[in-house]
Structures are given as C-alpha cells and as structure tokens.
C-alpha cells in the first residue's frame, strides 16, 4: 500500500527558477526554497514537488538533464539540496524531485558517448537506427548531427534523445527487445539515479512522461508497466516510505504499474478539463465558470469509473495547475477559484497546488518563449511575495529576472493576501480542515449524493462529511439523504441546511 504520509499529503509544486532568489542573480534557488518552507507549511502544504533542478542546458526548462546526480549550479549545490531535505523534514514536509526517465539532454555524457562512430559500452543507451532514414512512423528522429552511422529517436524536443528501454516486438535490425542487456542497463541506470537521491534524503519522485519508456508498446503499456513494477518492488523493499507520482493521466494503467498516485491532467475533453478549462465554440463552459450554464456530469462520467477502478490501488491527483498548463486566473475570478479549490481539495486523492495559485497569480499571455516554454511561459513567472521591487522575488535588476513579474499594479501578492478574506485564506482554511478531518484525506471514502444534467449543484459525501458546491449565478437546492443534523464546518458564500433540504446561494460552497 502507499506510505502513510501520502494519505494526508497536500503538495506544493515549485518551479525553482521562479520561486525565490536569494543571491540576486534573478533566478530562484534552493536556498530560496528553504527560506520559504515556513510559508509553505503555514499555507497547509506538507509536501513539495520541485521541477528538475539538475545540471542542464535548459532548452526545456531542465527537463533536458545533463547530469542526474548534480544540482544545476544556478540553483546551488548538492549540499544545498541535502539541506533542503533536512530543513523540510524538520517541518514535517516531504520532498519529491522530478525524475525524467524517458530522455536526457543531448549534452548528457551518455549521449555524447553513444553518438561516437566506434561501438562502445553506451552505444545502446539510446535508440539509434543503422541507416540514415528511420523506418518507424510517428517517432521523430534526427540525422546529420553525429559521427555515428545512423539516426536517433527523440522523446520530446530535438534536444531530448530517447533512452533505450527496448522494444516490445523487434521488427528492425537495429531494435532490441526489452530484455536485451542494453535495455536492462538503461533500467539499472534509472534505478541507480533514484537510489542516489533516496539515499540522500529525497522522499520520492514525480515521474515525467512515465508512459514513454518502451516505444511501440501494447495498448496497456505492459512493457513500460513492467519496468515501473520493478521500480516499485525496489521501493517497497528498500525505501518503503518513498512515493512515486506519475505524469501519465491514466490511473488504471499508472496505478497498476506501481505508481502511488497519478496526475489527472488537463487533457482535451477529459473530466478535469470540463471543470476548469472547457470551451465550446469560443464559449467558456467550465463547470466553475459562473455563467457557463454547466453541470457536473461531464466530470463525473469520466472521473467516477477511474476512481472506482483504482481507489484500492492508489490515488488520483487533482492539480490547480502546473508548469505546462495555463493558470486559471484571470479567466476565472477569485470567487470562481475559491469554489474550484474548495472542491478540488475536498475530493479524494493527493492534491497538488501550483506555486502562486493560492494568491491567484495570473497567466501572462504573450510572453516570448523562455527555455522551451512556448505558451507555458505565461504560467512560469516569478512568485509574487510583496509590493517591493520585483514583487519581492529578487533583488536583481528587473531586466535580469528569469521572467518578468506581473506588471499590473493590482497584481496579487502574499503580503496583501495574508489575513484578508479571499482566495489565499480560503485555501488555508480548507487545507487546515482537510488535515484535521481524517474523512477528507486521500483514502477517505467518497460518493456522489446529488448530480443532475443541466443542474449546477453538486453534492458529495466524504465519510461523515458532506460537501456541496453551486458555481452558478442562481440559488440551488436539493433533498440530500443524511443531511439531517449536520452543521457547516466551512462555507464560501451562503448555505442553509434544514431537515433534508440543502440550499446554496449563488456561487457558494459548503462543507457540513
């Protein structure tokens, strides 16, 4: 089963570039994260996911790793990271690093070695053809760059050659099976990287593109899953307190492959998308949008079967956003965000809050792409701490910042959000209740009490608790079984429970 701490974990995702700069070079750093651990804890988060902080040419913001076991100098040293682990643990905070298993940077020494003309021990570490035209459709490849007589396959950008975990069915001379010594050597190298960090205090990994290991896998990704099951066996045996969370967004496959939790990502037309980012014919139809005239059915139709099929195996992770996804503000108003987060944080699973979402940081459209960010760049701007220079992020000259801070004079910041009615205090209040009430934790039971087509009201049960949300602009009411005698623990807006009848004012949430 999962490590006990995950049952009460609420994660805070930190994009290290943009969190807090302590040495005035305009880029966030590990010491900056250490300085803000009390802030994270006070918010109600007791776990971190840090985006890749390893040595890298940063053509994909660090997802192009050049050395898996060395902290990027711009963030500090390995010692700084070890200190971050121990300072976090002192505060009851667990730390996940970002593991990128599917590819490395083209500057990784493994790749440089494998690109040599003479066969060597690393020739099989990546996927190379033996001819200058690659025969596999749907897989981008690169030729003309290296002395080696062949082309190599990519996993994402041009700078990210695919590591070789072998092929399910070998159909070409240059392919090897998943049990070939070269494929097994890649697997072993992956597990050694994990051990390196786990031995030094890391609590586990968020795993990048976790489904991408074996190319041309079957529909159930059985070969890729087998690799993760081996990883999980290693964890259960040697690091039973460690957790792995997958970027897969297919909980049935990911959790059965051994992940403890799987992200429910913003994918076109899935249930999560319908809650927060759904547009139809240019109209915003997101469930939490006040005027969307929407209902919860599109979400439940997708989510419930996934939840039912996996609740005994692992957790589904709801996210407020992440470094790849457009932030919700300003498209959703502060009130819409309050209702959305109150709901996300009271559903089952392990929730993730993206840095800055607690204050409603805005998506900054039209920023030029930075480090391979493209449209993602607008979700990666510096954290807004206060109203001092660079919004308290850094003492560097503004033009030296990793990305500009939000120039709006009304841009939200922590200093102004603390202690005031609003999004930030709603997040704090809901997270405090979540930690206090065992029913609301990851594994607490969940069932739907009220959900109807063309009706914005959604009522659900978590153990002895009942939660209800009405994101629409009109009052809603319903008979709810088991309501009798329950009193509100937490409310956004207004709600009344009388007998079995529950009534929610426009744009309201209640936990009873």
Q: Which residues bind ligand GLC (CB under 6 A)?
A: 60, 63, 100, 156, 208-209, 247, 323-324
In whole angstroms, the minimum distance from the beta carbon of 456 to Ca ion comes to 45
Name which of 208 and 406 has its Cβ closer to ligand GLC: 208
In sequence order, the β-bridge partners of residue 353 are 12
In sequence order, the β-bridge partners of residue 497 are 502
Taking a C-beta distance cutoff of 8 angstroms, is the pair 147, 116 a contact?
Answer: yes
| Contacted by 25, from ligand GLC, Ca ion, none: CB < 5 to 8 Å by type | Ca ion
Name which of 189 and 265 has its Cβ closer to ligand GLC: 265
Query: Cβ-closest residue to ligand GLC?
Result: 63
DSSP letter at 62 equals T
Name which of 76 and 471 has its Cβ closer to Ca ion: 76
Name which of 3 and 62 has its Cβ closer to ligand GLC: 62
| Contacted by 208, from Ca ion, ligand GLC, none: CB < 5 to 8 Å by type | ligand GLC
Residue 180 has, within 13 A of its CA and on its CB side, a CA count of 19
State the DSSP string of 130-161.
SSSS---TT--EE-SSSSSSS-EEBSSSTT-B
In whole angstroms, the minimum distance from the beta carbon of 376 to ligand GLC comes to 7
- Biggest CA–CA distance in the chain, Å, is 80
| Contacted by 357, from Ca ion, ligand GLC, none: CB < 5 to 8 Å by type | none
Q: Which residues bind Ca ion (CB under 5 A)?
A: 21, 23, 25, 27, 29
In whole angstroms, the minimum distance from the beta carbon of 26 to Ca ion comes to 7
Name which of 58 and 341 has its Cβ closer to ligand GLC: 58
DSSP letter at 383 equals P
State the DSSP string of 461-501.
EETTEEEEEE-SSS-EEEE-TT-TT---SEEES-EEEETTE
In whole angstroms, the minimum distance from the beta carbon of 218 to ligand GLC comes to 22
Spatial CA neighbour of 169 closest among 210, 212, 136, 124: 136
Name which of 203 and 208 has its Cβ closer to ligand GLC: 208
Name which of 187 and 323 has its Cβ closer to ligand GLC: 323
In whole angstroms, the minimum distance from the beta carbon of 165 to ligand GLC comes to 16
In whole angstroms, the minimum distance from the beta carbon of 104 to Ca ion comes to 25
What's the CA gap between 99 and 237, in Å, rounded?
20
Taking a C-beta distance cutoff of 8 angstroms, is the pair 319, 264 a contact?
Answer: yes
DSSP-derived 3-state class of residue 335: helix
Residue 421 has, within 13 A of its CA and on its CB side, a CA count of 4
In whole angstroms, the minimum distance from the beta carbon of 59 to Ca ion comes to 20
Name which of 54 and 63 has its Cβ closer to ligand GLC: 63
Taking a C-beta distance cutoff of 8 angstroms, is the pair 284, 293 a contact?
Answer: no
Length of the chain: 512
| Contacted by 107, from Ca ion, ligand GLC, none: CB < 5 to 8 Å by type | none
| Contacted by 156, from ligand GLC, Ca ion, none: CB < 5 to 8 Å by type | ligand GLC
In whole angstroms, the minimum distance from the beta carbon of 261 to ligand GLC comes to 15
Taking a C-beta distance cutoff of 8 angstroms, is the pair 499, 478 a contact?
Answer: no
Phi first, then psi: give them for residue 12, nearest 5 degrees: -120, 120
DSSP letter at 367 equals P
Radius of gyration of the chain from Cα atoms?
23
Name which of 212 and 294 has its Cβ closer to ligand GLC: 212
Taking a C-beta distance cutoff of 8 angstroms, is the pair 97, 50 a contact?
Answer: yes
| Contacted by 475, from Ca ion, ligand GLC, none: CB < 5 to 8 Å by type | none
Name which of 17 and 377 has its Cβ closer to Ca ion: 17
Name which of 95 and 469 has its Cβ closer to ligand GLC: 95
Residue with token string 């300003």? 330
| Contacted by 358, from ligand GLC, Ca ion, none: CB < 5 to 8 Å by type | none
In whole angstroms, the minimum distance from the beta carbon of 1 to ligand GLC comes to 27
In whole angstroms, the minimum distance from the beta carbon of 160 to ligand GLC comes to 6
Name which of 29 and 247 has its Cβ closer to ligand GLC: 247
What's the CA gap between 458 and 79, in Å, rounded?
48
| Contacted by 29, from Ca ion, ligand GLC, none: CB < 5 to 8 Å by type | Ca ion
In whole angstroms, the minimum distance from the beta carbon of 509 to ligand GLC comes to 30
What's the CA gap between 255 and 307, in Å, rounded?
11
Spatial CA neighbour of 182 closest among 107, 110, 261: 110
CB atoms within 10 A of CB 452: 12
| Contacted by 21, from Ca ion, ligand GLC, none: CB < 5 to 8 Å by type | Ca ion
What's the CA gap between 347 and 222, in Å, rounded?
30
DSSP-derived 3-state class of residue 436: helix
In whole angstroms, the minimum distance from the beta carbon of 458 to ligand GLC comes to 29
Phi first, then psi: give them for residue 511, nearest 5 degrees: -120, 125
| Contacted by 209, from ligand GLC, Ca ion, none: CB < 5 to 8 Å by type | ligand GLC
């Amino acid at each position: 089963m999962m490590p006990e701490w995950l049952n009460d974990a609420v994660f805070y995702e930190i994009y290290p570039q943009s969190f807090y700069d302590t040495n005035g070079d305009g880029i966030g750093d590990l010491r900056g994260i250490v300085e803000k651990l009390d802030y994270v804890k006070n918010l109600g988060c007791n776990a971190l996911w840090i985006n890749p902080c390893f040595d890298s040419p940063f053509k994909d913001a660090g997802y192009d790793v050049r050395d898996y076991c060395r902290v990027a100098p711009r963030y500090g040293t390995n010692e700084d990271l070890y200190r971050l682990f121990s300072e976090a643990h002192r505060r009851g905070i667990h730390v996940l690093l970002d593991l990128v298993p599917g590819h490395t940077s083209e500057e990784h020494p493994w790749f440089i070695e494998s690109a040599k003309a003479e066969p060597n021990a690393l020739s099989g570490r990546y996927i190379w053809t033996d001819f200058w035209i690659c025969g596999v459709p749907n897989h981008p490849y690169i030729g003309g760059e290296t002395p080696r007589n062949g082309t190599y396959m990519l996993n994402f950008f041009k700078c990210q050659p695919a590591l070789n975990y072998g092929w399910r069915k070998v159909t070409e001379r240059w392919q090897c099976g998943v049990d070939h010594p070269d494929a097994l050597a890649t697997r072993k190298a992956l597990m050694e990287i994990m051990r390196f960090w786990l031995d030094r205090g890391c609590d586990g990994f968020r795993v990048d593109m976790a489904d991408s290991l074996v190319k041309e896998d079957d529909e159930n990704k059985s070969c890729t899953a087998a690799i993760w099951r081996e990883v999980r066996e290693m964890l259960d045996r040697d690091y039973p307190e460690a957790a792995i969370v997958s970027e897969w967004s297919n909980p049935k496959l990911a959790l059965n492959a051994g992940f403890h939790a799987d992200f429910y990502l913003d994918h076109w037309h899935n249930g999560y998308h319908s809650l927060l980012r759904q547009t139809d014919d240019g109209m915003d139809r997101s469930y939490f949008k006040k005027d969307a005239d929407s209902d919860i059915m599109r979400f439940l139709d997708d989510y419930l079967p996934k939840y039912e099929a996996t609740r005994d195996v692992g957790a589904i992770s709801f996210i407020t956003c992440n470094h790849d996804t457009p932030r919700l503000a300003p498209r959703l108003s502060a009130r819409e965000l309050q209702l959305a987060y109150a709901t996300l944080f009271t559903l089952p699973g392990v929730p993730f809050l993206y840095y800055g979402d607690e204050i409603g940081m805005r998506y900054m459209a039209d920023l030029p792409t930075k480090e391979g960010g493209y449209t993602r760049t607008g979700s990666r701007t510096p954290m807004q701490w206060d109203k001092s220079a660079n919004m308290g992020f850094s003492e560097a000259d503004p033009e030296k910042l990793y990305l500009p801070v939000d120039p709006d004079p009304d841009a939200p910041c922590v200093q102004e959000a603390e202690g005031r009615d609003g999004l930030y205090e709603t997040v704090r209040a809901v997270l405090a209740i979540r930690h206090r009430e065992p029913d609301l934790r990851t594994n607490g039971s969940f069932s739907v009490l009220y959900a109807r087509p063309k009706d914005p009201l959604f009522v659900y049960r978590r153990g002895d608790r009942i939660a209800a949300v009405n994101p629409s602009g009109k009052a809603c009411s319903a008979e709810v079984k088991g309501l009798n005698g329950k009193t509100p623990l937490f409310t956004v807006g207004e709600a009344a429970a009388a007998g079995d009848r529950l009534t929610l004012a426009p744009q309201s949430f209640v936990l009873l």
